[in-house]
Structure 1
Amino acid sequence: MYETILVSVDESELSERVVEQALEIAERFDSAVRAMHVVDDRGSSHVSKSVNELARDADERREMDERREEAGSELTERVAKRGAERGVPVEQVVLVGDPAETITDYAAEEGVDLIVLGAKGRSAVGKFLLGDVAGKVARHAETQVLLVRADEA
């Protein structure tokens, strides 16, 4: 039923529950897992800065992105270790981009059968004004999506 499961991970506590759900499903269906972390690059803007400021900002941003990619590798490595303990093959994927777009594009390009990710449960107004990665993925993915909700208590 599910040959390939994509699980999106971040630094949140909810991510632990998301990984557990993905690995449980993978065990049940003898699936392979792709553990993905997306380094969000949407926050880079250059409003009225000098060339020197832009160059300095670019260097700082590059260093920050490298650290964030390393952190993403560590997150996906943890999933790979948990998968190995359970006999579930896990491939690690760290990409840079808009999280929702990157997840849906990757899933479509790689023929993923199920996307598993966390839903933080923000208010309807917050989702409307800011958008929400889980909601965007659920609306735009070409495959099935399992949203793991945070505990409300």
Structure 2
Amino acid sequence: MYETILVPTDGSPQSREAADHALEIARQFGSTVHALYVLDDRGTGRMSQAVNELSHDSPERKEMDQRHEEAGAELTDEIVERAREAGVDAESVVRSGDPAETITDYAEERGIDLIVLGARGRSAVGKFLLGDVAGKVARHATTPVMLIRPDE
């Protein structure tokens, strides 16, 4: 039923919990897990605005981008290692872009059967109205999406 499962991660407790669910589903169905980290290049938020003030070819910008990419690789590699310990095949992927668009595009490109991602603890209606990543993915993906709410 689910040959491939995409689990986007940002290192948050919600994304770690989503990874737990994705790995359990993958174990049950013999699926391959794709762990995806998206380097957010939209230029929103304080950190992104500070980064965007740096020239794209400045040494500081390149160093900062490299650190972000390494952090993303560590997060996805952690999921891949957990998958292997559970006897599940997994791939680690780091991409740049708008997180919601990158997640849905990746799922479509790779023929992903299920996207499992964490949702924040606020009400679902509030989050959808605010347009968070999980809400955007749930609304726009052509792939089935499983949102994992944190244990409260």
Check whether TM > 0.5: yes
Distance 1:75 1:56 in 2: 25
1:147 matched to 2:147:
yes
Residue matched to 1:39:
39
Deviation for aligned residue 1:63: 1.8
CA displacement, residues 60-85 of structure 1 (integer Å, 9 cap, x when unaligned): 33221111110000001111110110
> Which consecutive residues of structure 1, in runs of 5 or more, have no partner in the other structure?
47-52
Deviation for aligned residue 1:150: 1.7
Distance 2:100 2:144 in 1: 14
Using the size of structure 2 for normalisation, the TM-score is: 0.86
What residue identity is the alignment partner of 1:39? L
Between stretches 8-17 and 24-33, larger displacement belongs to 8-17
CA RMSD of aligned residues (A): 2.1
Residue pair 2:116, 2:148 contacting (<8 A) in 1 also: yes
Residue matched to 1:28:
28
Using the size of structure 1 for normalisation, the TM-score is: 0.85
Residue matched to 1:70:
70
Residue pair 2:127, 2:135 contacting (<8 A) in 1 also: no
Residue matched to 1:50:
none
Residue matched to 2:114:
114
Distance 1:67 1:137 in 2: 26
Residue matched to 1:12:
12
Identity across the alignment (%): 61
CA displacement, residues 108-135 of structure 1 (integer Å, 9 cap, x when unaligned): 011000001000133555653x420000
Deviation for aligned residue 1:54: 5.2
